[in-house]
Amino acid sequence: METNTPQVDPKALAKAVAPFESTEPWQGLLKFFILFVPVLIGGKWLIFDSPDLLTMSLVTVPFAFIYASLLITTHDAIHTTLTGFKLFDEIAPRLISWPVYSIHSVYQEVHKLHHNMNGSNLSDPERVQYSVSEYESSSKAMKFFIRNQWFFNLFVFTGVGFISKTAIFGANFFKTSKTMRRAFFIDALGIALMSGIILTLTVIHERVVYYALWYFLTQYVVGFILQLRAHVEHYGLWGKGKNFYDTQVWNCRNMKVPYYVSWYFNFLSFHTIHHAFPRVPFYKLKDAQNAMRAVYEKSGLTIPESDLGYIKQSLDLARNPVLIDDRKPQFAGQSTIFISSLT
């Protein structure tokens, strides 16, 4: 590793960000209920009261966009920074995830591993790109999928694919992790109870077809948004930095977007600061990232930021599929390579 290049003092960085690591409950509660109330009322109306399948289908699409934003707030709950109330941050996300068969408890454990492994360990359960070794050892069909991963994830696998991937990676730790086994048990029990209640009510009210179509459309739209976010935040980025914070700078994509877009994604558009300091709540991420950027700039370094927006950035990444180049050491820089450059 080179030693004559600029470096950030981790202690100075931690000191600069420390004032932003406190959680005030009211902001998280306010956002949660702003989204939860229309989801609760809308979901009930769509499944049980909508006049016909066409109307239900048309209204479900905007409904699912709101639902997706609500589910994204559960990300903060994983770090107990949504409200700071541990009981609320544990229970509320599960209650809003289980109706769409989302395994929040398992995702919580998987996501913690992601934070520890991001950019430095190929075992990262949320890694969104394949390595050169994985690509070269794949079948022709698998290589086709890897080259067109963006399309398949966003338009084919969507929500079911997102849930399945979480379950598969969580299962890898089922035998060795007691907390993972507990997470699977909690989600299985919660989903069974909640889906049992909903299905019973739909049978009684003769709305099973409405519920089935509602679920298909909701998971599709929600899955599209979650897959889009995951792709934009990390695809095309990989490599160890000189310290933990540098690694997060290398492996997180920050998005320069309008306030309402950032609000929708729970301010995870400021993704570097979230990974570097997960104790910073969503409503302080912008100010905390500015503080982090000031420390970097003082050291002659920058924190990259994309101004393309989520859709354009995603399309740009789709047109230029990359792999993690695991044939060289992973430190002090990016370790990715365009698939088109392989001979």
- Chain centroid offset of residue 23 CA: 21
Q: Is residue 326 part of a domain?
A: yes
Query: Which tens digits make up the pLDDT trace of 57-114?
Result: 999 999 999 999 999 999 899 999 999 999 999 999 999 999 999 999 999 999 988 9
What mean pLDDT do residues 35-55 have? 96
Q: Is residue 15 part of a domain?
A: yes
Distance CA 129, CA 164 (A): 17
Q: Is residue 244 part of a domain?
A: yes
Number of domains composing the chain: 1
Query: Which tens digits make up the pLDDT trace of 241-272?
Result: 778 888 888 888 999 999 999 999 999 999 99
Range of the domain at 266: 10-341
Q: Is residue 71 part of a domain?
A: yes
- Quote the mean pLDDT of the chain: 90
Q: Is residue 3 part of a domain?
A: no
Q: Is residue 93 part of a domain?
A: yes
Q: Is residue 4 part of a domain?
A: no
Distance CA 4, CA 12 (A): 19
- Contacts of 21 by beta carbon, 8 Å cutoff, 6+ apart: 277, 279, 280, 288
Query: Which tens digits make up the pLDDT trace of 167-205?
Result: 999 999 888 889 999 999 999 999 999 999 999 999 999
What mean pLDDT do residues 24-38 have? 95
Query: Which tens digits make up the pLDDT trace of 11-25?
Result: 888 899 999 999 999
Q: Is residue 1 part of a domain?
A: no
